[in-house]
Amino acid sequence: EAEVAQSPRYKITEKSQAVAFWCDPISGHATLYWYRQILGQGPELLVQFQDESVVDDSQLPKDRFSAERLKGVDSTLKIQPAELGDSAMYLCASSPVGGAVEFEETQYFGPGTRLLVL
């Protein structure tokens, strides 16, 4: 069964350092999402891509966060500089596009990257 891949699984960094997370969606999935999940809360969308284009980045703290999906396949989320409050699980998800809405709507999540900022 195809899965969303993410790396690293765990990252410990000091505040003010730069960190980067990588995501490889399920093959053929045109839509890619980055979510942040703070402990004890549900995931919150940071950015959504349709192929290589950003569809929604309204909740992305653009002063320190950036995301790219240059070739419309895999994606990188970067934080620079990291702050203590960035400690969270960063989840990547993908979904197909095209065809019936019932097929498009399901988002499939990767295992996540747990970030700890010291």
- Report the interface residues with other proteins, using CB under 8 A: 4, 6, 31, 33, 40-45, 48, 55-56, 91, 93, 95, 101-102, 105-112, 114
Give, in order, the Cα–Cα distances in Å from 56 to each of 1, 4, 33, 48: 29, 20, 9, 5
CB 90 within 8 A of CB 112: yes
For other proteins, which is the closer residue by CB, 61 or 81? Answer: 61
H/E element, 103:
helix 101-104
Query: Distance between CA 80 and CA 78 in Å, rounded?
Result: 7
For other proteins, which is the closer residue by CB, 63 or 105? Answer: 105
Report the nearest approach of other proteins to the CB of residue 80 (Å): 24
Report the nearest approach of other proteins to the CB of residue 91 (Å): 6
For other proteins, which is the closer residue by CB, 12 or 18? Answer: 12
